[in-house]
Amino acid sequence: MSTSFTDNSDQKGEKSPLNNPIKGRGTANNMAGRFAITLIEVDENDEAIALLETSSPKTEVRYERAKSIISRNSSPDIPFRLSVNPYKGCEHGCVYCFARPTHAYLDLSPGLDFETKLVAKTNAAFLFEEELAHPNYRCEPIALGINTDAYQPIEKQLKITRKLLEIALAHNQPISLITKSTLILRDIDLLTQMAAKKLIHVAISVTTLNNDLKRILEPRTASGKTRLQVIKTLREAGVPVSVLVAPVIPFINDNELEEIVAACAEVGAQSINYIMLRLPHEVAPLFSDWLHQHYPDRAEHVLQRIMDMHGGKFYNGQFGKRMTGEGIFADLINQRFHVARRKYGLDDNRPSYLDCRHFAVPPKEGDQMALF
């Protein structure tokens, strides 16, 4: 059974130049989102093709004043209820990213637009401080940068994530964050202070140690070797660190599972977990397109195995199954992972808990005068 998606091939079956990979980007496909209002038809004339073949789209950043910053969820298979995302879209360009479909709400493509047309919430720090000070707020750990990486390249200049961490430290507000970026080391001064108060837990995403695969799968991210060094540096600074092997992709990176677990244990990771590949909404055709470009010999085999793990679909949103999948292959991955985790001493060695007991809203200038 064929599981491929419709592409822009011509009548001779040749791949359209409009779908050619763009160096440094996860996808060249700028498909319309499922809620698209603006639809543009491209005439594949010689001039347009030549332009696309010789140019790489620049990253654009739109600045937004958000109405609120702390989001809430009630999903039983997600280990946090509150989250903060300072950015929409992500320049890292990971083709598999489950957050790509959210760009459709902006009337932008979950494809190339997701990694080239970004939104920065410029008032995130102000809102965060305001919402933490609200009388109805009850302290619990907040996950930072869960949808899109809080340390993606534009953070280097904007420093929104750093401002959020500064506010969290001032309030004794526990934070859990996940990243695949070396930029997190810029804020090691804050992370060290937070770790001393049990206010921080960092998860580093390690998808592959194969740099050739990394370049096409996660084009604007640090290498696996560099991420291992980030883990080591954070641990030496006393920061609790776990690892997330995500996503595990059948016949693409699952062969590295044991090697990744061993390497992460060696550099001091305290715990490790994994997530199977899931392809919600527009991610499915984008990933299929990527597979047929880079792994045409096994693309159909990979897609079929993904469907086998998700009840005959590319994505099964059922709680308890969407992260790990089900079936023979999913069970095999689960067994291999747990054997490796026990072998390298990461089975039950979880980082210390996040402490909410000392949360307090610091007094602002003028608060003391209000008492008189």
3-state secondary structure the chain: CCCCCCCCCCCCCCCCHHHCCCCCCCCCCCCCCCCCCCCCCCCCCHHHHHHHHHCCCCCEEEEECCCCCEEECCCCCCCCCEEECCEECCCCCCCCCCCHHHHHHHCCCCCHHHHHEEEEECCHHHHHHHHHCCCCCCCCCEEECCCCCCCCCCHHHHCHHHHHHHHHHHHCCCEEEEECCHHHHHHHHHHHHHHHCCCEEEEEECCCCCHHHHHHHCCCCCCHHHHHHHHHHHHHCCCCEEEEEEEECCCCCHHHHHHHHHHHHHCCCCEEEEEECCCCCCHHHHHHHHHHHHCCCCHHHHHHHHHHHCCCCCCCCCCCCCCCCCCHHHHHHHHHHHHHHHHCCCCCCCCCCCCCCCCCCCCCCCCCHHHC
Q: How many CB atoms lie within 10 A of CB 229?
A: 14
- Beta-sheet pairing, 175-179 with 142-144: parallel
Burial of 235 (0-12, 13-18, 19+ CB in 10 A): middle
Does 62 map to a domain? yes
Does 59 map to a domain? yes
Q: How many CB atoms lie within 10 A of CB 107?
A: 14
For the chain, how many structural domains are there in total? 1
The pLDDT score that the predictor gives to residue 323 is 82
Does 45 map to a domain? yes
The 10 Å CB-count burial string (b at 16+, else e) for 297-316 is eebbebbebbbbbbeeebbb
Output the pTM of the full model.
Answer: 0.85
Closest Cα partner for 340 from 266, 257, 271?
Answer: 257
> How many Å apart are CA 257 and CA 336, to the nearest integer?
8
The pLDDT score that the predictor gives to residue 13 is 38
Does 299 map to a domain? no
The pLDDT score that the predictor gives to residue 12 is 37
Which residue is it, tokens 């984008």?
286
Which residues, 6 or more positions from 140, have their beta carbon under 8 angstroms from its beta carbon? 81, 82, 174, 356
Residue ranges making up the domain that contains 217 = 17-277
CA-derived radius of gyration, the chain? 22
The pLDDT score that the predictor gives to residue 80 is 85
The pLDDT score that the predictor gives to residue 45 is 43
Does 5 map to a domain? no
The pLDDT score that the predictor gives to residue 23 is 64
Block means of pLDDT (10 residues each) for the chain, length 372 residues? 42 44 63 49 42 65 97 82 97 95 94 96 98 97 96 98 99 98 98 98 98 96 97 98 97 98 98 95 96 97 96 83 88 97 84 90 71 46
Does 298 map to a domain? no
The pLDDT score that the predictor gives to residue 33 is 57
The pLDDT score that the predictor gives to residue 41 is 42
Q: Which two tokens stand for residue 275?
A: 């997530």
How far apart, in Å, are the Cα atoms of 169 and each of 197, 231, 282, 356, 358?
Answer: 9, 21, 38, 12, 11
Q: What is the CATH number of the domain that holds 187?
A: 3.20.20.70
Does 311 map to a domain? no
The pLDDT score that the predictor gives to residue 108 is 94
Report the amino acid identity of residue 160. I
Which residues, 6 or more positions from 359, have their beta carbon under 8 angstroms from its beta carbon? 139, 171, 172, 173
Closest Cα partner for 305 from 254, 246, 264?
Answer: 254
Does 109 map to a domain? yes
> How many Å apart are CA 45 and CA 67, to the nearest integer?
43
